[in-house]
Amino acid sequence: MQMAECVSSPTFWRRVADATIPRPVKLGRLSRWPQSGIMRVIEAANTPRADA
């Protein structure tokens, strides 16, 4: 859930709330994320920033 423990749980859920990370799909009591949505987040994180 914590993106390989790179961020804290509160930060992870804050990013879900601000739509940086897609909302999970609920399957009963489980929360799961579509692979395509997570891959977009990872690709965006790996993109070099203009100010760097």
Instruction: Count the domains in the chain.
Output: 1
pLDDT at 52: 61
CA dist., res. 44 & res. 40, Å (int): 6
Please report, for residues 23, 38, 40, the alpha-carbon distance to residue 32 in angstroms, rounded to integers and kept in the order given: 9, 10, 15
Its domain, for residue 17, covers 9-46
Do the domain assignments include residue 1? no
Do the domain assignments include residue 3? no
Do the domain assignments include residue 51? no
Q: What predicted TM-score, i.e. pTM, was given to this entire model? A: 0.67
pLDDT tens string 19-51: 989 999 999 999 999 999 889 988 888 888 777
pLDDT at 3: 54
